[in-house]
Amino acid sequence: MLETVFLNHILSWIVFTPVIGIIVLFFIPKEKTRALQWVSVLATFIAFVLSAILWYRFQPSSAEMQAVEYATWIPQFGIGYSMGVDGISMPLVVLTTLLSFLAAVASFSIKERIKEYYILYLLLVTGMLGVFVSLDLVLFYVFWEVVLVPMYFLIGIWGGARREYAAIKFFLYTLLGSVVMLLGILALFFKGGAETFNMLELGAKNFGLQFQIIVYLALFLGFAIKVPIFPFHTWLPDAHVEAPTAISVLLAGVLLKMGAYGILRISYSIVPNGALWFALPLAILGLINIIYGALVAMAQKDMKKLVAYSSVSHMGYVLLGIAALTYMGFNGAVLQMFNHGIITGALFLLVGVIYDRAHVRQIDGFGGLARTMPIFAGVMSFSCFASLGLPGLSGFIGEFFCLVGAFKPNAALSMDFAFKAIVIASASGIVITAGYFLWMLQRIFMGKENEKWKKLPDISGRELFTIIPLMILMLLIGIWPRLLVDVMNPTIIRMVDFVASLAGGK
Amino acid sequence: MSFWIPLGIVALPILGFALIIFFGKKLPLKGASVGISALGASFLLSLWCFIHMQGAPADTAYNFNLDWVVFGNFTVTLGFLIDRFSATMMLTVSLVAWLIHIYSVGYMHGDRRFTTYFAYLGLFTTSMLGIVTANNFFQVFIFWELVGLSSYLLIGFWYEKKSAADAGKKAFIVNRIGDFGFLVGILALFAGLGTFSFQEIFSAAEGAVHNPALYPILAVGAFGVLCGAVGKSAQLPLHVWLPDAMEGPTPVSALIHAATMVAAGVYLVARCFPLFSAVPNVAEVVAWTGGLTAIFSATIAIVQVDIKRVLAYSTVSQLGFMMMAAGVGSDTAAIFHLTTHAFFKALLFLGAGSVIYALHTNDLREMGGLYKKMKTTAITFIVGGLALAGFPPFSGFFSKDEILASVWESGHYALFAIAAITAFLTALYTFRLIFLAFFGKESEAASQAHESPKVMTVPLVVLGFFALVAGWIAIPGLGKGFAGLAHTHHHGEPNWMLMGVSVLIVTMGIFTAWVIFHKRWISKERLYNSFYYIAKILEAKYWFDELYHYCVVKPLLWFSRFCRIFDLRVIDGAVNAVGYLTVAASKAEGSFDLKVIDGAVDGTGWLVRFLGRIFRRFQTGQVQEYIILVSIAVLAIVVVGVFLF
């Protein structure tokens, strides 16, 4: 009974637990604030526990898809309800459930239209989880779009002053990307011959190079906007600045990963020759993201914008690691995705803490806060150092191995020299990154205590509750990266070998 | 030896850190007791290691490895390398750190963040011990950065002062510039040799004679190591952070910015001796970087009026000396000087701290005649000064002499001349400091001064003892000779002539200081006026800070602002423009739709109605009119028909 209903369909349970939460929410009157909040927190917590069970049952030594589910859905078009996780999606599922749970707790600071908020919030969570477990392109696309709609309303209704502009920009920009992506998906379907949307089956097909390049580019636009890759990144700072804290956390922590995950899962698996063809441009875009993002971050006056641009910079390492097509690069990239999720999630939570108290986010307006809010100062400094790649904390591992992995790219690419130059240029980003984070810390926390903020209370227990798990993870992964790498490695080996074997017949 | 011994040595201080951070305020001595006992245990283990290594054959090396993580098919390992070299370093670091922990109880007494201070000290000590025990570059890099972090935290410890916060930030960022080079070096070595391990890289370097293809890889790697060392050991051109780092509490300056952290760069270059031997060109760069830094900062030290800044520039200069030795191939002399310097420079800083504690000022011009007031401090300070100047039989004499000898014997005569001049300058500025602070007329501030408490003076005495005797192992017949500290390749007989020259130079330096700053036979003011421009240049520290401010920091900030505007106006502008154009186009289409398309629809309707209105006229409902119309029509048809046919 347990086996058939529950364990064999654990992915569906994980993905749709939030939907069950939504159904429950429908029956709760909207004045019952506490009940609404706790039901939502419970729904996300159950999803988190289920994903922990999934992790526990996951066979790390295997590179195969696990916890696979299949049901026919629209057989006329070869569309199936197909789900599974491997070493790449497993960490991202856990990342999503964890951040969703913590952000649900952080959402207690939302004071108006709570019922609507949580309904949309839970729908968003289902969408994000679905993206990471779908093995069918149509299912993937459906979840991809499901993410979009609640996000639009969450920013547009509960956001800051320019929320409508930011929400529409986010929606249209992403929609543009996903429509072009859909064209790519349809092209795969029609060219596939077998007329299937199943990713694994399509991955086994051998498409012509021309076709692969076109499809790659179509998919790439969708993913690039989501990551976001320069020059498609400008929706991000606007969306972040306007979004409420919890939504910023999910936006940076999970949504950006969807883009990079798509590149790995779809582009590299189904149109590998297109991906190989685009390896060098991807690495160059990674370099631009790293350096340009860091430079723009340094000039920001708003804390949230600074963190948003730091995301642009950090996602650059992911691109660099992916482009190099090495074991270390891929491992570094997925590590960086996970770590960026927890670190930037924490940073957005922390910016939210200060914003809830002071109602401003201008970096220059503060000063001397280390004395007023010592615990907050410690936690914030910890997270900033994790983000600037301090060894011992998780941010370092991803960055370092993305660089190591890209410095000697896969021999199949035969672009040794170009990658070396790109990596050296990218590595200089560590100086700029240290620069803007330390400068921000100095302006907020150091110097004379500002009379205006002398009364601010230190970080509260509930706020600490949302951040401490992330800090523990930063430390744990920083010291013991095997926690993730052991799970990822077999899948990554298989994937890298598969793509590399297609290059020049090697 | 068991794996647990180096692990204990490295990990104990950070366990102390964790305890203090979480429970510090409730622990005895507000947490200081935990720091002191953790460090004490670490020191005892290091001492055991040191004795053990001295008893073992000279080339004994214990290598401990731990598989850390597997990427693809490559296993990244962490581990410890314990040989005589690291045993010496561990002993020096843990001993000095321990004494400074004890001293700090007095110096930091009553500070608002006393507990935090001890936590940071523990974090630092673990990082530093991590560097000297690592057996691979990856691990060195990890602790290298952590040392940077603890240095940042401790320099900016009094963060409410803007200058302190600025100095901490500057130290971290300047260090990261060096680390960028170091990182590239590590990447090159890993890409070329497929390993981070010292052992494997060094054996590849030793085999490079037979494999010239390795040369570029090794050269980039060695140069990267040099970059890292230049940053951490404050060598030209990245020396600018160290003088500013004096904003930190004085015991921190003694521990981190004199005895240990800044020595990490020298340690690493010396540790990578086989690497640098394989690429003599890079080694040459190392030697010249060191030599130039030595003389450059010695000249600045002469005109400084802040007691800690004199010592800071002196540290930069002495590190240059060590770097020079490592560059000419005498890693042993470098490490020997590193060790003696750790003792006497820590002593000098702690002595200066004792003076500052008593007087509440750093300014040499407000000191004078302190000898009578603070005998213990003064005597130990003079001991440290003699060691720094390199006067026999104090420790500095032996180690400096080794460096001079190795530079001379390697045939770098120009560098030797630089080193000799620097030795003279060193004696001069050291005794300038001593005469100004401790002798001469008693200043107003000095008349109120008292000797510092025992918890501060006892570490001074202990360090004074080591500053005196640490060099004696180099005396033939005493112990195993200083080669026992590190490696075995030590050149033969002492060079008596060089020793004589070195003593002569030092004596001249001290005598000059005595003439100018004590006896005042030559007026300082006249000297200043006759060398006015030189003095100005020295006081401006060769304008390095200004140079960087206007040529690096400002342009970078400017460029970053430019990028922000570019992002806002051009990139996002393009997005908004697309949005705007779409809206405009749709509006245009909208009005086209309204006017033309819908206009056509409306027009059809209008036409029908118009025609309707016309034809309505005919629908009068009167039969006579209809008959007339029909008759006209019939007539018309008939007429037309007749005409046509």
Chain A residues with beta carbon closer than 8 angstroms to that of B184: 424, 427
What is the spatial distance between Cα B287 and Cα B396, in angstroms, rounded to a whole number? 20
Range from B51-55, B74-78, B221-225, B336-340 carrying the lowest mean pLDDT: B51-55
Which of A164, A235, A295, A436 best probes binding to B when mutated, by most B CB atoms within 10 angstroms? A295
Beta-sheet pairing, B74-82 with B62-71: antiparallel
pLDDT in tens, B571-627: 888 888 888 898 899 888 888 888 888 888 888 888 888 888 888 777 777 888 888
Which of B173, B560, B561, B580 best probes binding to A when mutated, by most A CB atoms within 10 angstroms? B560
pLDDT in tens, B547-574: 888 888 888 889 989 988 898 888 888 8
* Within-domain flag for A313: yes
Cα angle for residues A193, A198, A201 (degrees, 5° grid):
65
Long-range (24+ apart) CB contacts under 8 A made by B543-546 are B544/B237, B544/B239, B544/B240, B545/B240
For B193, nearest residue in chain A (alpha carbons) = A408
Range from B150-154, B226-230, B550-554 carrying the lowest mean pLDDT: B550-554
Q: Is the peptide bond before B393 cis (omega within 30 degrees of 0)?
A: yes
Separation in Å, CA of A219 to nearest CA in chain B: 20
* Within-domain flag for A490: yes
What is the structure's pLDDT at A194? 64
Give pLDDT tens digits along chain A (506 positions): 677 778 888 999 999 999 999 999 999 998 889 999 999 999 999 999 999 999 999 998 888 888 889 988 888 888 889 999 999 999 999 999 999 999 999 999 888 899 999 999 999 999 999 999 999 999 999 999 999 999 999 999 998 888 888 898 899 888 999 999 999 999 888 886 667 888 888 888 888 888 999 999 999 999 999 988 988 998 999 999 999 999 999 999 999 999 999 999 999 988 998 999 999 999 999 999 999 999 999 999 999 999 999 999 999 999 999 999 999 999 999 999 999 999 999 999 999 999 988 888 888 888 888 888 889 999 999 999 999 999 999 999 999 999 999 998 988 888 888 999 999 999 999 999 998 999 999 989 888 888 888 888 888 888 999 999 999 999 999 999 999 999 999 999 999 998 888 875 43
What is the spatial distance between Cα B228 and Cα B230, in angstroms, rounded to a whole number? 5
Helical H segments across B470-531, by residue range: 496-513, 524-530
* Within-domain flag for A309: yes
Task: Look at residues B429, B407, B389 and name the one whose alpha carbon lies nearest to residue B538.
Answer: B429
* Within-domain flag for A46: no
Residue B77 near residue B221, CB atoms below 8 Å? no
Separation in Å, CA of A91 to nearest CA in chain B: 16
Q: Name residues 362-381 of chain A within 8 A of B (Cβ).
A: 368, 370-371
Range from A35-44, A469-478, B142-151, B494-503 carrying the lowest mean pLDDT: B494-503
Range from A125-139, B14-28, B141-155 carrying the lowest mean pLDDT: B14-28
For A296, nearest residue in chain B (alpha carbons) = B564
pLDDT in tens, B35-55: 899 999 999 999 999 888 888
Sign, CA torsion A18/A22/A24/A25 = positive
Question: Position A300: which residue type?
Answer: Q
Residue B253 has pLDDT above 80, yes or no: yes
CA A392 to each of CA A378, A387, B2, B23, B222: distance values in angstroms, whole numbers, following the listed order: 16, 12, 24, 22, 25
**Residue B64 DSSP SS3:** strand
Q: Is A327 on the interface with B (CB under 8 A)?
A: yes
Q: Which of A231, A439, A485 sits opposite B169 (nearest CB)?
A: A439
What is the structure's pLDDT at A506? 38
**Domain ranges, residue A428:** 279-506
* Within-domain flag for A88: no
Write out the H or E segment, with its range, that includes residue A129: helix A114-133
- Residue indicated by tokens 């459930």: A97
Classify residue B360 as left (phi > 0), alpha (psi -120 to 50) or beta.
Answer: left
What is the structure's pLDDT at B545? 83
What is the spatial distance between Cα B447 and Cα B358, in angstroms, rounded to a whole number? 10
CB pairs under 8 A between A and B: 134
* Within-domain flag for A400: yes
Q: Which of B184, B190, B559 sits opposite A295 (nearest CB)?
A: B559
Q: Is A177 on the interface with B (CB under 8 A)?
A: no
What is the structure's pLDDT at A49? 95
| ipTM value | 0.91
Does B74 contact A327 at a Cβ distance shorter than 8 Å? Answer: yes
What is the structure's pLDDT at B84? 84
What is the structure's pLDDT at B487? 45
Separation in Å, CA of A337 to nearest CA in chain B: 16
> How confident is residue B473, by pLDDT bands cut at 50, 70 and 90?
confident
Chain A residues with beta carbon closer than 8 angstroms to that of B195: none
Residue B484 has pLDDT above 60, yes or no: no
Domain count, chain A: 1
Q: What is the pTM of this model?
A: 0.90
Provide, for chain B, the percentages of residues in helix, strand and coil under a 3-state DSSP scheme, each rounded to the nearest 5. Answer: 80, 5, 15
Q: Is A231 on the interface with B (CB under 8 A)?
A: yes
Chain B residues with beta carbon closer than 8 angstroms to that of A298: 556-557, 560
Number of neighbouring beta carbons within 10 Å of residue B40: 15
Question: Position B237: which residue type?
Answer: P
Question: Position B277: which residue type?
Answer: S
Does A404 contact B190 at a Cβ distance shorter than 8 Å? Answer: yes
What is the structure's pLDDT at B478? 44
Residue B395 has pLDDT above 80, yes or no: yes
The per-residue pLDDT of chain B, averaged, comes to 86
Q: Is the peptide bond before A231 cis (omega within 30 degrees of 0)?
A: yes
Which of A225, A230, A233, A234 best probes binding to B when mutated, by most B CB atoms within 10 angstroms? A234
What is the structure's pLDDT at B489? 45
Which of B69, B74, B153 best probes binding to A when mutated, by most A CB atoms within 10 angstroms? B69
Residue B119 has pLDDT above 70, yes or no: yes
Residue B347 has pLDDT above 60, yes or no: yes
pLDDT in tens, B304-328: 888 889 999 999 999 999 999 988 9
Q: State which of A294-298, B55-59, B513-517 shows the largest mean pLDDT.
A: A294-298
**CB burial class (10 A; 0-12, 13-18, 19+) of residue A358?**
middle
pLDDT in tens, B63-95: 898 889 899 888 999 999 998 888 888 998 999
* Within-domain flag for A399: yes
Residue A51 near residue A69, CB atoms below 8 Å? no
Residue B360 has pLDDT above 90, yes or no: no
What is the structure's pLDDT at B603? 86
**CB burial class (10 A; 0-12, 13-18, 19+) of residue A205?**
middle
DSSP conformation letters of B70-82: EETTEEEEEEEEE
Q: Which of A292, A331, A438 sits opposite B169 (nearest CB)?
A: A438
* Within-domain flag for A413: yes
